Structure 1
Amino acid sequence: MSETISVEESRQLDNKTINEIGIPSMVLMERAGLKIYEDMIHNDDLDLSNTLILAGTGNNGGDGLVVARLLSTHGYKVSILTVGNPDHASDDHKKQQHICDYYEIPKVFLNERFDNYTTLVDALFGSGLSRNVGGDFATVIDKANASDAKIHAIDIPSGLNGDTGEVMGTAIEATSTSTIAYAKEGMVKAAAKPYTGKIFVDDIGIYKGLVAETK
């Protein structure tokens, strides 16, 4: 696997790409969503005939909403479960939800039966989670793990510490993970393997230097 980075390095690279280089965050989100969608449709471990997006209200959830739209517009059955207060959603998340509403992608609620789905997409948290998971998020993670559906995680399985690979209360047990730009240091530790599954590293135009790394 290519070079890994810390959570803080990931945050700094995001900020540099958006604020110094000038690539808008929505452009990066669209690129990420497309790469994740491509990882999923080429992953024979996933059955995408009925997919549920588990979306937090931050930009990780926004990436999940892009995936929802791409699945829907390419003929796959997909629904969205938003976890957290939509009034506190990031600006890019709100824009992506508006687009999903335009395409009339169905929404479901916390009482939804996850066993009705073939694949769940974990878009609850990004790599910057700094405290143990609780409340509805913990309930959804445990419910997802207990279901028969396969799980594909975005950036890092929710509940996994991006630096140490430790479980923060509870964590998604993913079949596969699409991580953005670089794998995070905690993801490649032995203890994290049962949670990350197969890791895809997605190039969306965020680089440590002036060019992409050669593999």
Structure 2
Amino acid sequence: MTTAITAEQMRHYDSYTINTIGIPSLVLMERAALAVRDHITERFAQQLNQVVVVAGSGNNGGDGLAVARLLHLAGATVSIINVGNPDHASAEHRTQDQICQYYQLPQTTNLAPLKHASLVVDAIFGIGIDRPVTGHYADVIDAINNCSAPVVAVDIPSGINTDTGAVMGTAVKATTTVTFACNKVGLTTSNGQHYAGQLVVATDMGTYVTDK
């Protein structure tokens, strides 16, 4: 599927899938995480010795936590850096966090693990960002960009506007972006393509379409 959609359209499709079709949001999250896991284990098989997942407190962060757990079960060494206010975590995020705790995945708010990362997974912000990135979030993104490790962005590089491709103050410069269901309009712009790196679209058929 090559059609690019806006953030609002993606939210509509997700809502329809959850509320009309009846597929729970946690199932969608698991499918998204499996797509990221598969891409990482296929393309970055040699970089699984020190994977660092940087997770925000929303559903994009929940995707990241699920990716962390799936990579751990696949034999990778994984740690998690939590970013944001845990009191504002989504219900799905809390569920994924509980599962990660069950598997005793190391979690911290300290950015030090980035210094030794073999691979970074960016799961800070999803498609809903609508204001400039500032403060600690900006510091985290800058720290990711200063890493020598490859970066895989979950759905969209954090800090990129889904509809325009604009940098919202600062943004993650990804090696690869795995986006879900359809491409996003912002990722078709020259700026969006620059920050996304190699773009992989994980479709609802379970296949992958690579755009360059």
TM-score computed with the length of structure 2 as normaliser: 0.93
Q: Trace 1:69-80 onto structure 2 (pairs within 5 A).
A: 69-80=69-80
Counterpart AA for 2:149: A
Q: Is the 8 A contact 2:163 2:186 kept in 1?
A: yes
How many residues are paired up?
206
Please give the alpha-carbon distance, in whole angstroms, between the structure 2 residues aligned to 1:29 and 1:122. Answer: 15
Superposition deviation, residue 85 in structure 1 = 0.9
Q: What amino acid maps onto 1:195 in structure 2?
A: Y
CA change 1:46–1:150 in 2 (3 A) is farther
Deviation at 1:160, TM superposition (A): 0.4
Comparing 102-111 and 85-94, the one that deviates more = 102-111
CA drift of 1:45 comes to: 8.6
Equivalent residue letter for 2:166? E
Distance between the aligned counterparts of 1:3 and 1:106, measured in 2? 39
Alignment root-mean-square deviation, CA:
1.6
Change (3 A) 1:9 1:150: same
| CA shift in 2, pair 1:193/1:46, >3 Å | farther
Match of 1:212 in 2: none
Q: What is aligned with 1:195?
A: 195
Question: What is the CA distance between 1:39 and its match in structure 2?
Answer: 1.0
Aligned equivalent of 1:211: none
Counting aligned pairs with the same residue, the percent is 46
Which residue number in structure 1 is paired with residue 124 of structure 2? Answer: 124
> C-alpha deviations, 1:87-125, integer Å up to 9, x for none?
110000000000000000001223414120011100001
Query: 1:128: how far off?
Result: 1.1
Q: Deviations along 1:57-87, whole A, 9 cap, x unmatched?
A: 0010011011100111111100001100111
State the secondary structure of the residue aligned to 2:12.
Answer: helix
Structure 2 portions without partners, runs of 5+? 207-212
Matching residue's letter, 2:74: H
Q: Is the 8 A contact 1:166 1:186 kept in 2?
A: yes
TM-score, normalised relative to structure 1: 0.92
Alignment of 1:104-123 (within 5 A): 104-123=104-123
CA contact (8 A) 1:157 1:196 kept: yes
After TM superposition, where is structure 1 displaced by more than 2 Å over at least 4 residues in a row? Answer: 108-111, 203-206
Distance of 1:153 and 1:139 partners within structure 2: 17
